[in-house]
Structure 1
Amino acid sequence: MIYLLWSIVNLTIAFYFLYLVVGFIRKGMRIFNPKFKVVSAFVMLIGIVQVISAVNSEEKTNQITITNNYNKKNNSKIEKVKLEDNLTFDINMFVKYSIEQNQWIPIESNSSITGFVSGYDWEFTAIETDNYKPNGKAEFTANGILKWQLFGITVYNESKTFNGMIQ
């Protein structure tokens, strides 16, 4: 529930920024209510800075290479694991295996956050996993950082560790 409230706060601030921009274009300085002039100017300034800085940001892949020591000509298979299932968003992890004889060797993994993610950013930092047998399971430990952002600025970093089985 707290994730939903945080997303609503982010959306409210974003809509307030849009209201200020459109109002400033249409009415000029009269859009700023004297009671909230400082807050409105601060929101508008932070919003403009975030829009400008978003142009220069690079996209993170959240991909981790587990091993380079495998036969690239072998078949591969991708397994999906849902790390976290919330009301508003899910954190998913994919593990790619190289199929060699009777063993599935993990070669790379990536993770993503999906759903209503307003105000959050997911950074996948580490994974440990065993070799996977075709009829068995593999244990894993995955780590990441859920960044709580307010209008694009990271306010809090929540470290997350997930343990489980890949089936």
Structure 2
Amino acid sequence: MIQLIWAIVNIATVLGLVIFCTKTASEIRNKISLSATLLFSFFALSFIARPSKEEKDKKFEFENRETKTQSLNHNNYFSNIVLEEDLLSKIELYANSDGENASSAMIRRTGFICGTRWSTVYIIINKTEKKNTFQYEVGGTRKWILLGIEVYSEFKDFKGSGEFKSL
């Protein structure tokens, strides 16, 4: 619910800024000239934040010496675990296994995510005694952003267990 309110605040702030700049540009045009209006508009629009060029979904590859020395194992297992779900968005853990150990994992965030950004810090996957089960620990940072400026940053930690299913 807080993310919905934050998204509305972000949208309202951007719309307010656009309306303010439009009115200001109109007054500049009436009082000075068209070229001054174009110059003001260029500088005003340059402050609009662009999406970062960060890797959207960072994939974590796990290095297993045992599996590298073994012959090719054609068993592939997959797991999808919902870490956090609210009214607007969902954070999910996707993990792959070769039958023995986890080979890779990725965190994906879907839904309406206006005004916040997720950054995965670490993913730890340990196999358990039961076949095709594992324990996971995931850590990351959610950044609350207003007009492209980070206002607040919170660390989130998820722990639990899951099960690999064959593809």
TM-score (norm 2): 0.73
State the shift of 1:28 in Å: 4.3
Does 2:5 correspond to 1:15? no
Which residue is 2:47 aligned to?
A: 49
Q: How far, CA to CA, are the matches of 2:77 and 2:19 in structure 1?
A: 48
**Percent identity between the aligned chains?**
23
Q: Which residue of 2 aligns with 1:95?
A: 95
Q: How far off its partner does 1:110 sit?
A: 1.1
Alignment partners' CA distance in 2, 1:91 and 1:10 = 21
Read off the aligned partner of 2:13 and give its amino acid letter: I
Instruction: Please state how far the C-alpha of 1:108 moved relative to its aligned partner.
Output: 1.5
Aligned partner of 1:149 in structure 2 is 145
Change (3 A) 1:132 1:24: farther
Map residues 116-155 of structure 1 onto 2, 5 A cutoff: 116-131=112-127, 135-155=131-151
- The alpha carbon displacement at 1:17 in A equals 3.2
1:22 Cα deviation (Å)?
Answer: 4.8
Stretch deviating more after TM superposition (153-162 or 124-133): 124-133
Amino acid across the alignment from 1:48:
S
The structure whose Rg is larger is: 2
Letter in 1 for 2:2: I
How far apart, in 1, do the equivalents of 2:61 and 2:151 lie? Answer: 29
Aligned to 1:62: 58
Gaps of 5+ in 2: 30-39
Q: What letter is aligned with 1:18?
A: V
Distance 1:28-1:140 versus aligned 2 partners, 3 A rule: same
Question: How many aligned residue pairs are there?
Answer: 147
1:33 aligns to what? none
Q: So what's the TM-score if we normalise by structure 1?
A: 0.73
Specify the SS of the correspondent of 2:141.
Answer: strand
Deviation at 1:90, TM superposition (A): 0.7
Task: Compute the displacement of 1:112 (Å).
Answer: 1.8
Q: Is the 8 A contact 1:62 1:125 kept in 2?
A: no
CA RMSD of aligned residues (A): 2.9
The amino acid that maps onto 1:81 is: I
Instruction: List alignment gaps of at least 5 residues for structure 1.
Output: 31-40
Deviates more, 1:105-114 or 1:124-133: 124-133
Letter in 2 for 1:94: Y
